[in-house]
């Protein structure tokens, strides 16, 4: 009996974000060990969470969610 492969969900990947502005634009400082910074506001205060939790924090700060899930209907461009 073959085992079914569990499909990978990108929602399970950890999200690195800026704790100051909640940007996802995080870069690593060259020639340092594990030192990250926010490309938008230059802080090094970086957090890790799930995409769902980050979206809740974003909505609390900015008043609207960054990610809006909706069902695609055929035709998808309508």
Please tell me the predicted confidence (pLDDT) of residue 12: 86
Q: Does any domain span residue 47?
A: yes
Q: Does any domain span residue 68?
A: no
The per-residue pLDDT for range 11-46, each reduced to its tens digit, is 889 999 999 999 999 999 888 877 899 999 999 999
Overall domain count for the chain? 1
Q: Does any domain span residue 55?
A: yes
Q: Does any domain span residue 37?
A: yes
Is the model's pLDDT at 56 over the cut of 90? Answer: yes
List beta partners, residue 49: 15
Higher pLDDT, 21 or 1: 21
Please tell me the predicted confidence (pLDDT) of residue 8: 75
Please tell me the predicted confidence (pLDDT) of residue 70: 75
Q: Does any domain span residue 6?
A: no
Q: Does any domain span residue 21?
A: yes
**In which domain, by residue range, is 57 found?**
12-62
Radius of gyration of the chain (CA): 17
Residue labelled with tokens 């926010």 = 38
Write out the DSSP string of 21-45.
Answer: T----EEEPTTSSS-EEETTT----
Q: How much is the pTM?
A: 0.75
């Amino acid at each position: 009996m073959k085992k079914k492969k569990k499909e990978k969900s990108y929602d399970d990947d950890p999200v690195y974000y800026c704790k100051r502005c909640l940007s996802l634009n995080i870069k690593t400082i060259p020639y340092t060990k594990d030192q990250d910074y926010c490309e938008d506001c230059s802080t090094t205060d970086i957090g890790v969470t799930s995409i769902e939790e980050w979206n809740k924090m974003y909505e609390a700060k900015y008043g609207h969610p960054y990610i809006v899930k909706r069902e695609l209907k055929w035709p998808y461009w309508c």
